[in-house]
Structure 1
């Protein structure tokens, strides 16, 4: 009996020990195989650079061509003195509205007035003498030559009078058009040299918006187009109309300059910066990408796109742009995934995990 029990124990104890070792290992392998399908995607993305991107699509201009420009006065003149002399009168206030022909500044003309008075007296004397000579000529008491000499002297006197009046007029600075006066740079009693700037006058009743667009739009009928613009720092929109196109393109920027006119009802002033849109009748189509997606280089511009889950840099051609978007004319196609974020860490052929922007 003891021998049988001993044999059972000799056989049973090793079996129990082997079972205790083998069964947990079988559970481990079964659990590992069961977890493989859920962790495989994570393993596949492990090591991929997280980036953001967008799918390139065709855009159609609904509002027009985005532009920026500056306001230009309808008329603007720097007032300068045409003659040298002492200022005896300043007849305007800085910032005041003046009418065309209003006297603004008077330069001393006392010497010219004295010369004019003398010439006027000579005119009366010569006129009376000429009349007597005409009577004598009819009686043939004097020669024709004598009469013509006196007549020439009289006409020269009339010319001297007109010249003095012109010189006197040049001692007065008058408003060339209706407008608002600028700051003055002279005072009464100061001595003016010829061409000395006295002040300026600006007509802001109408304002011109000067802006540029890419030269490829030159085929469009631009004159008469509507321009909707917004002054810098203001929230309202204003409408103007294009009235002139510069006949020459800028060789450096390949743009053409246009001017639109606006009746100034908002008290805007010349020199203000504006941004707006030039309305077009055509549905212009193009691919727009965010400005941060375009990488400038020495030989041009590039975009990062995704091919087979790998980042690839491609050269592109761009055209007009604004503060947010750039128009891409060649280099990418509709449907390409363009990378817009995380570009600083990208390298050619790097595997990326793209999160598409809405």
Structure 2
């Protein structure tokens, strides 16, 4: 089809085509400017704050439940049956070693001992007299030997009586505090009956159970902190023994510590805290990027941000121990972490210390 050769129509079409070409040129120019601006923006270094990784002491501690035991404890029983004629057993009283607490009727034994003592004294005089006669041949050796044998027999009888009399008395076996008295004056008691108890007070033992993996950290002579409702402040106890066998069912072992002048009551519950001396690399919690596969941190190397996979250990609200993935002296990004892309340019705004992050998360809460 032939277009009309109208001059006005040709002029109109020419101007329309020119306007289209100009519009396309303007759009292309704007697009190029946006791309250049975006590229310029992405090339700007990201400002970050860092901490320099260093070895720091880790305030690690392990807690265990413990039970207070008396250093010395005994149930008091009479060795013989009889009626109580003397009773000195105040409930809860402090007593010294050797204090007479109870005596059973032993009048018959005392009479026998008195008689044996008189016979012994008479026998001693006889032996002395026969010894002088033997020196001048006034008596034969057999008579002297018989008198000497009788003396030794009487001495043995006295020792037996003394032992029997001692069994009628109950004395404090060590310095300590008495428990509650279970008998009364004039009562007839037997060896199977408990008179009461006595516990030492100056020192106590504390038994606590620890897992198998903790045992290498505890040595004989190690110190542990003891916390109890009976004391406002912590007490320091010394480990005196470690059970040589691990329980096959629980994989735990019993540890025994000793505590002096504690004021703790036998049988009471205490909390044992074992302070572990350990060092490691700590970074602020906010520097760690959690991930389903592995946690990461951003390191600054040669002015660029580098992602590093890490393994963590001890953790608090403010800090995380990094056991793998960071070396001492590395620069770890602590602010601006989320704006750094792998191998992107960064600029260090400030070098901070771990103290700047102390109690930061705690205060936020």
Q: List per-residue Cα deviations over 1:196-233 (Å, max 9, x = no partner).
A: 21111111222222101112233335222221232258
Is 1:248 the equivalent of 2:270?
Answer: no
Using the TM superposition, give the Cα deviation of residue 124 of structure 1 relative to its aligned residue in structure 2, in angstroms: 1.8
List aligned pairs for 1:162-311, cutoff 5 A.
162-231=159-228, 236-265=233-262, 267-282=263-278
Question: In structure 1, how many angstroms separate the alpha carbons of the residues matched to 2:232 and 2:129?
Answer: 80
Contact conserved, 1:68 with 1:212, CA < 8 A, in 2?
A: yes
Contact conserved, 1:232 with 1:272, CA < 8 A, in 2?
A: no
Contact conserved, 2:60 with 2:277, CA < 8 A, in 1?
A: no
Question: In structure 2, how many angstroms separate the alpha carbons of the residues matched to 1:233 and 1:152?
Answer: 64
Deviates further, 193-202 or 276-285: 276-285
Contact conserved, 2:76 with 2:196, CA < 8 A, in 1?
A: yes
Using the TM superposition, give the Cα deviation of residue 283 of structure 1 relative to its aligned residue in structure 2, in angstroms: 5.4
Q: List per-residue Cα deviations over 1:287-332 (Å, max 9, x = no partner).
A: xxxxxxxxxxxxxxxxxx979xxxxxxxxxxxxxxxxxxxxxxxxx
Q: List per-residue Cα deviations over 1:42-98 (Å, max 9, x = no partner).
A: xxxxxxxxxxxxxxxxxx973322211111112111111012211001112111111
Q: Structure 1 unaligned segments of length 5 or more: list them.
A: 1-59, 286-304, 308-333, 335-357
SS at match of 1:184: coil
Q: Structure 2 unaligned segments of length 5 or more: list them.
A: 1-56, 282-290, 294-324, 326-364
List aligned pairs for 1:36-115, cutoff 5 A.
62-115=59-112
Contact conserved, 1:225 with 1:280, CA < 8 A, in 2?
A: no
Matched with 2:119 is 122
Question: In structure 1, how many angstroms separate the alpha carbons of the residues matched to 2:191 and 2:136?
Answer: 53
Question: In structure 2, how many angstroms separate the alpha carbons of the residues matched to 1:116 and 1:162?
Answer: 9
Aligned pair count reads: 231
CA RMSD of aligned residues (A): 2.7
Deviates further, 135-144 or 93-102: 135-144
SS at match of 1:141: coil
